[in-house]
Chain A
Amino acid sequence: MSIDVLYGTESGNAEMAAEEIAAAVADARSLDLQDLDPDDLSASTVYLVLCSTYGDGELPASAQPFVDGLQAQKPDLTGVRYAIFGLGDSSYAESYSLGGNRLAECLDALGAERFGDFGRHDASSSEDLVASAIAWARAVLADAAVAAA
Chain B
Amino acid sequence: MTFQVAIVGSGPAGCYTAQALLRTLPGVRITLVERLPVPYGLVRYGVAADHQGTKAVTRQFDRVLGHPDVTFVGNVEVGADVSLEVLRSQFDAVVIATGLCRDRRLGIAGEELPGVIPSGWLTRWANGHPDATHARPRLGRRAVVIGNGNVAIDVARLLAKAQDEFTGSDLPGEVASALVAADVGEVVIVGRGTADEARFDPVMVKELAQVAGATFDVPESSSASASPRSDALRHLADDQRRGNRVVVRFRFGWTPSRIEGEDRVEKVVFADRTGTEHSVATDTVVSAIGFTGPAPLVPDGARVEDGRLGTGLYAVGWARRGPRGTIPDARTDARLVAEVVAGDLGAQHRPTSRSEPHRCFAALPATDLEGWQAIDRYERATAAHGRVRNKVTDRRALLQLARPRLNHLQGEPA
**Which A residues are within 8 Å of any B CB, using their own CB?**
10-13, 16, 54-57, 61, 89-95, 122-124, 126, 128-130
Contact = CB atoms under 8 A, between A and B. Distances in A.
B201 A12 contact: no
B107 to A, nearest CB: 32
Contacts of A126: 168, 388
Contact of B203 (A13, A92, A124): A92
B63 A12 contact: no
B206 A10 contact: no
A12 B331 contact: yes
**Chain B residues touching A, range:** 20 to 34
A12 B57 contact: yes
B60 A13 contact: yes
Query: Shortest 3 CB-CB distances between A and B: which pairs?
Result: A123-B53, A89-B53, A124-B53
Contact of B206 (A13, A16, A92, A123): A92
B343 interface: no
B19 interface: yes
Nearest to A96: B53
B254 interface: no
Contacts of B201: 55-56
B327 A91 contact: no
B91 interface: no
B59 interface: yes
A91 B59 contact: no
A94 B206 contact: yes
Interface string B303-338: 000000000000000000000000110011000000
Contacts of A55: 201-203
A13 B56 contact: yes
Given A92-B206, A124-B168, A11 B327 contact: yes
The DSSP consensus for interface residues of chain A is loop
A56 B229 CA distance: 11
Contacts of B203: 55-57, 92, 95
B373 interface: no
Contacts of A91: 50-51, 53, 207
* Most chain B CB inside 10 Å of its own CB: which residue of A13, A61, A123, A130: A123
B40 to A, nearest CB: 13
Contacts of B59: 13, 16, 128-130
Nearest to B52: A124
B63 A16 contact: yes
A54 B332 CA distance: 15
Contacts of B202: 55-56
B2 interface: no
Contacts of B331: 10-12
Contacts of A61: 328, 332
Given A11-B327, A16-B60, A89 B19 contact: no
Contacts of B228: 56
B54 interface: yes
Contacts of B57: 11-13
B331 to A, nearest CB: 6
Contacts of A12: 16, 19, 57, 60, 331
A11 B53 contact: no
Contact of B53 (A54, A56, A93, A122): A122
Given A56-B202, A56-B228, A124-B168, A89 B63 contact: no
A129 B56 contact: yes
* Most chain A CB inside 10 Å of its own CB: which residue of B59, B203, B206: B203
Nearest to A16: B60
Given A11-B331, A56-B228, A124-B168, A92 B56 contact: no
